[in-house]
Amino acid sequence: MGQANKAVGLKFIEALGAGDAEAVKTVISDDVVAVAKGTGIGAGTRNYAEIIAVFDMFSQVTETGLNPKIVSVTAEDDRVVVEWEGNCTLVNGAQYNNQYIHVFFLRDGKIYKLNEYFDTKLTNDVLGPLMGGAAG
């Protein structure tokens, strides 16, 4: 179970890095809930449709994708934790280089719950201008 769950978590990160909404649909459940911790424009709770919209947004605002660099992956029972770094160039030429931890909870091989941790101030400052203050 651990290796299969790791593969699901990594596929999510790869899809996010590429802004590939179709790929992420294969690893999230219809009732998925994602909670981005923090207080910035990237923070909040998202459902299935809102998660897909975030993937679409990244495909539109990045020149290079997020280019995920995996730092560590841990799996235990139904939980996978992925620590990673994203480094990209945005369509306005700005660099968006953030650090992330995603905690995935899986049921029947799909993600049904996700907690996200990242620098929301950086998201405000760098992505905010491209999103009119409403990034993801």
Nearest to residue 18, comparing CAs of 73, 68, 83, 72? 68
User: Within a domain: residue 61?
Assistant: yes
State the CB neighbour count (10 A cutoff) for residue 18.
18
pLDDT tens-digit readout, 81-105:
999 999 999 999 999 999 999 999 9
pLDDT reported for residue 132: 63
Average pLDDT over residues 119-136: 76
pLDDT in tens, 8-51: 999 999 999 988 999 999 999 999 999 999 888 889 999 999 99
pLDDT value of position 131: 74
Is residue 32, in this structure, part of any structural domain at all?
yes
Residue 133 pLDDT grade (very low, low, confident, very high; cuts 50, 70, 90): very low
Is there a domain that residue 50 lies in? yes
Per-residue pLDDT, 37: 95
Structural domains counted in the chain: 1
Domain that holds residue 7: 2-130
Q: Is residue 48 part of a domain?
A: yes
CA pair distance 67, 46, nearest whole angstrom: 23
Domain assignment present for residue 112? The answer is: yes
Q: The CATH number of the domain where 71 resides is what? A: 3.10.450.50
Query: For 50-59, what is the mean pLDDT?
Result: 87
Sign of CA dihedral 23, 25, 27, 28: positive
User: SS3 of 49, please?
Assistant: helix
Residue 51 falls within a domain, yes or no?
yes
pTM, full prediction: 0.91
Please indicate, yes or no, if residue 135 is contained in any of the structural domains.
no
State whether residue 12 is helix, strand or coil: helix
